[in-house]
Structure 1
Amino acid sequence: MSDILGPPISKDAVDARLDALAQRHRRAGNLGIQVLNVVGGRAEALLDRLPESMRDRLEGGTAQALEMAMGAAHRSRGVVGTQPGWLSRAVTTAMGAAGGFGGLPSAMAELPITTTILLRAIQDVAGEHGFDPAEEGVRYDCVQVFAAAGPLDHDDGADLAFLTTRVAVTGKAMQALISKVAPRLSVVLGQKLAAQTVPVLGAAAGAATNYAFTSYYQQMAHVHFGLRRLAIEADIPHAEVLKRFRQRVATAPVKRG
């Protein structure tokens, strides 16, 4: 990330960028509606469609998938540079269709690959905002985005949990973060699996689910790194920027269909 910055931006410009990020956040909240319309159910009931044995394995499998995704996504940057957001959505959509077509076994096999592509898409967004995905602190932030509630459980308060003040990343911080994020992400990915394996719909549900999930995490990454960039350019404490952003979200709640 470049340390060369111009003079702090104006108050009006800060307000305009906060408004734009709040609008992006609201759009993310509507992405899951298309999935629920396709699968014909409620987010809360999706996990009940999975076999109990699979639900029991989700959290541990999610933590392992995250650790594998971190290494794979980071290595891929040395082979393939930053990719446009639409390409990540196209790839995961196609994978979701293939996974849904083959039922639960193929959807489960596709899960670690999709997690890697999602993390890579988040890293690309970080790069768009001027942050170096190779830096340990930025890699930490990229995983932190996965603490968002997920597109099928978008709530005005819960989905802001991933927005935190910056912390020093040392020692075992990344492992601790994965342990913290994995339980929430396992619920999100469990909903994804269940939606992908709806009888008859199969491939269509898988495609819609992966498109919505990729778009959601890209939007949340833009919110996360956009706020960090704004704090730097406006020379405002990050905690203050978060406070003002949360106020905007609170006064314009997400409309759910």
Structure 2
Amino acid sequence: MTQTVFPPLDRDEELARLAAVTKNAQGAGFQVLGLVGAQAEGLLHMLPGGVRERLEKATVSALEYGFDAAKRSRGGRIPDGSDWLTRAVTLGTGAAGGFGGLGTALAELPVTTTVILRAIQAIADEHGFDPEKPEVRAACLRVFAAAGPLDDDDDTDLSFLTMRLTITGSTMQGLIAKVAPRLAIPLGQKVAAQMVPVIGAAAGAAINYVFTAYYQDMARVQFGLMRLAEQTGESVESLALQMKAKLAA
């Protein structure tokens, strides 16, 4: 991959910009909750007990399938789409997932996860990071450790920025095992929203659009901070804390 040369960034301006992107991402879920007429914490209780118990395993499978499929599609030189095109694709998969109730909602998880992971990899590339490198692959998965668009806790949204992910050998198993429990919560909320009678397809489309936009924004925060860290010599952890202060202000 050709090394991209980026112009110098104004540190404070870039932190303020990334704080604004984070704020936009954090406010994305309320339209979905309004559509399904539920509170975020109540969505998971709408799932049958057996599904809640299997959700983490389903999330691991979706991540395993999604990361490899996304990598193959980009390796095959299929052009990266725009943010809007990616959201339109997941809007369609979400509608299909919600149309048939629980069965189709669960079957749709790996497909949507693949599309979002592909977008995250493209955003890493956009910031000058090679998604083939182990540390960048870990950073792509770390984006999925963010709390999710239906969680209004700013701290859990931002905790993914400093989450330690140990790369084990040449596989992603260790990373996926750490990320899956966190991602299972928003994915469970998504599946529950798609099960709402009558409006399941509409809810599936809306929630997929919101989820995709959210993780695209958080990927830009993740890789924006990494690029700023490379330029300034500061740690991502330190820059994330400073960005959080700007977000609070």
Give the TM-score of the pair, scaled to structure 1. 0.90
Matches within 5 A, 1:83-162: 83-162=81-160
Do structure 1's residue 210 and structure 2's residue 208 form an aligned pair?
yes
- The residue type paired with residue 180 of structure 1 is K
- Aligned partner of 1:61 in structure 2 is 58
Structure 1 residue runs of 4 or more that deviate by more than 6 Å after TM superposition: 1-4, 165-168
Compared with structure 1, are the counterparts of its residues 186 and 168 closer, same or farther at alpha carbon in structure 2 (3 Å cutoff)? closer
Length, aligned pairs only: 248
- Aligned partner of 2:19 in structure 1 is 22
- Aligned partner of 1:44 in structure 2 is 41
- Aligned partner of 1:193 in structure 2 is 191
Deviation at 1:8, TM superposition (A): 5.7
Conserved 8 A contact 1:24-1:219: yes
Tell me the SS of whatever aligns to 2:79. coil
Compared with structure 1, are the counterparts of its residues 166 and 101 closer, same or farther at alpha carbon in structure 2 (3 Å cutoff)? closer
* Counterparts of 1:2 and 1:166, CA distance in 2: 28
* Counterparts of 1:239 and 1:153, CA distance in 2: 22
Compared with structure 1, are the counterparts of its residues 63 and 165 closer, same or farther at alpha carbon in structure 2 (3 Å cutoff)? closer
Compared with structure 1, are the counterparts of its residues 6 and 132 closer, same or farther at alpha carbon in structure 2 (3 Å cutoff)? closer
Conserved 8 A contact 1:70-1:116: yes
* Counterparts of 2:82 and 2:8, CA distance in 1: 29
Deviation at 1:20, TM superposition (A): 0.6
Deviation at 1:144, TM superposition (A): 0.8
Q: Alpha carbon RMSD of aligned pairs, Å?
A: 2.0
Identify unmatched segments of 5+ residues in structure 2: none
Q: State the percentage of identical aligned residues.
A: 54
* Counterparts of 1:102 and 1:122, CA distance in 2: 28
* Counterparts of 2:170 and 2:224, CA distance in 1: 26
Give the TM-score of the pair, scaled to structure 2. 0.93
Identify unmatched segments of 5+ residues in structure 1: 253-257
Deviation at 1:170, TM superposition (A): 4.7
* Counterparts of 1:206 and 1:121, CA distance in 2: 19
